[in-house]
Amino acid sequence: MTGCKAGNCVLLFIVTGSLLTSVWCQKMSSFEQQNDQAMLQQIASDVKKHYYDPNFRGLDWDSKVRETKQKIEHADTPGRALSEIAALLDSLNDSHTFFLPPQPNTYHLDYGWKAQIIGDTCYVTHVRPGSDAEKKGIKPGDELMGVNGYATTKKNFLKVEYFFNLLRPQPSLRLVLRDGPSQERERTIDVATKLSTLDDLVKDRAHSLGGRDAFRLARSQDAVVLITHPKMVELGDELMILQLRAFILSDREIDSIIGKARKHKALIVDLRGSGGGNAAVFSQLLGRMFPKTVKIGELVRRDGRSSLEAKGYGDRFDGKIIVLIDSASASGAELFARAIQIEKRGVVIGDVSSGRVKESVFYPFLPHPGVISSQGAYISTADIVMTDGASLEGAGVKPDEVVLPTAVDLAEGRDPAMSHAAETVGVKLSPEDAGKMFPYEWPPL
C-alpha cells in the first residue's frame, strides 16, 4: 500500500533500468559529492521524521547516517555514493523503505528475460522474442542460479532484482542456468541488454501519438501501462476469472467488474504478480465481496493506531471466491488474499506471497526549489497488523492449497494453479488452456 503527500499515487514493484554502467564509473566531482551529501541528509531527516517506528527497528539510525556520510566522503564514483545511500535504507530491512536513484532521461534498458521464485527455486518464466537471451538459448523453465556472481535464492532475489533493475542496471549480465525440464546441464551465458535511446523511442512512438507526450511515454516505467488494466474471461454461467496486476481502477471499472461477476456462480481473482496499488481501490474492491463492513486490520504509526476497513456494499458479489497468489504478489494483493482467508470468504491457492506489506510514502529529494524530482526515498509510514494479530511483512500469505508450476509447466506454457482453481468450482479447464488464457505481454521497446 502506497501513499503520497498530495493526492493518491501508486508504487508498483516492477522497475526497469535506465542508467548506463559507465555513468556509475565516472570519477566523482566535488559538485556531485556535495549533492549526494545533501541528498543523504534530506533522506535521513525524512526517515527520522516519518518512519513508522521511532526506534527504527532497533537500529542506531544516527550512527548509521554518520557512517554513511563518511563513506560518501571517500566515494570515488557517483555510483558508489548512491549505493551507500541505498545500503543505509536497506539496513532497516523494510520492504517499503528504499532509495530511488536519479533516473536519466536518455536511455531505456531491457534485459529480455524475466525470472521469479517458485517455491524455493528461481526460474526463468519469460523470454522476449528476438532478444539476445532467446538467441542464446535461454528458455522458460530454466533454473536461474546466479546473476553476475550473486546467487538467486528465495532470501535475496528481491535485492538482486533491485540492484540490477533499479540501482545498477548493466549493459550485459552473466547468468548461471540449469536446463529446466532435464535439470542436467549447468551453463554460464553472457546476455546483452537491449539499449534504446530517447531519440529512438520518440521516433518509434511519436507517429502513433500524433507527436504528443512522446517524451512522457518514452520515460514510462516498464510494463506499467500493460499491467494496470484488468482482464476478464467468462466461462459460461459458472465462472468468471479476473486477472488484476494492480489495484488501479476507476469506480466505473469496479462497477463493471462486479456487474459481470454477479452473473456467475464463482469468481477467480488472479493476483499473481500483483504489486499492490491504490489503497482506496483495494479496500473498495474487497468490500464488494462482503455484505457488511469488514475490518482488515490496524495501521500502526508512530503516533498511534487506526483501523483499516473495507466497507460492505449492497451491489456486491456473493458467489464462491478463489484467490490466486504467488511469490510476486505484494502489498494490497496480500492484504486482499489474507482478508479473504481470515473471514473464511474464499480459498487462496498458489505460492506463498512476497511478504511486502507496509504503508509507504514517497519523499522526493529536491535539489532546487520548485524542481520536480523523481529521486528520493519511499519510506514506510505504517505497519499493518491483521485482525489475527499478525503482520504479513516478511512472512507473506500462506495459501490454503499450494499449487506450483514445474519447470516443464513453465517450458510448455501450462498453468496448473488456474486449472486447479477452476476445478474446485466444477469447471473443466486444462493446464494447457489455462496457460493460454492471459498471454504475457512484453512492454514495447
Task: Outline which parts of the chain fall under CATH 2.30.42.10.
Answer: 107-196
pLDDT at 1: 53
Whether the predicted pLDDT of 8 surpasses 60 = no
Largest CA distance in the chain: 68
The class level of CATH for 107-196 reads mainly beta
pLDDT at 369: 66
Residues of the chain with CATH 3.90.226.10: 224-357+383-437
Query: Do 427 and 238 contact (CB within 8 A), yes or no?
Result: yes
User: CA separation (Å) from 171 to 12, 16, 139, 193?
Assistant: 24, 13, 20, 5
pLDDT score for 33: 86
User: In sequence order, what are the beta bridge partners of 394?
Assistant: none
Whether residue 204 has pLDDT greater than 70: no
Q: Residue 392: what pLDDT?
A: 96
The DSSP code for 247 is B
Mean pLDDT over each residue of the chain, to the nearest integer? 86
**Continuous segment of H or E residues that includes residue 177:** strand 172-178
More confident residue, 182 or 204: 182
The predicted structure's pLDDT at residue 10: 29
Residue 247 has pLDDT above 60, yes or no: yes
Mean pLDDT of 227-234: 85
- Looking at residue 27, its pLDDT comes to 73
CA distance 53 to 363: 17
Q: What is the pLDDT of residue 258?
A: 96
Q: Which residues in the chain are classed under CATH 1.20.920.70? A: 20-100
The matching CATH number, chosen from 3.90.226.10, 3.30.70.260, 3.40.50.2300, 3.30.200.20, for 224-357+383-437 is 3.90.226.10
What fold is seen in the domain 20-100?
Histone Acetyltransferase; Chain A (1.20.920)
| pLDDT score recorded for residue 5 | 33
For residue 201, what pLDDT is reported?
A: 44
Task: Give mean pLDDT, residues 113-136.
Answer: 97
Residues 388-434 have pLDDT tens digits of 999 999 999 999 999 999 999 999 999 999 999 999 999 999 999 99
pLDDT digits (tens, 9 = 90+) for 319-349: 999 999 999 999 999 999 999 999 999 999 9
Query: What average pLDDT does the segment 7-18 reach?
Result: 30
* Cβ–Cβ under 8 Å, residues 192 and 169: no
Contact 277, 245 (CB under 8 A): no
pLDDT of residue 358 exceeding 70, the answer is yes
DSSP 393: T
Q: Which pLDDT score is estimated for 26? A: 64
- What confidence score (pLDDT) does residue 422 get? 98
The string of pLDDT tens digits covering residues 146-164 is 999 999 999 999 999 999 9
Mean pLDDT within 88-98 = 95
State pLDDT tens for residues 295-306.
Answer: 999 999 999 999
What confidence score (pLDDT) does residue 195 get?
Answer: 80
Q: pTM of the prediction?
A: 0.87
Whether 178 contacts 143, CB under 8 Å = yes
Q: What is the reported pLDDT for 229?
A: 84
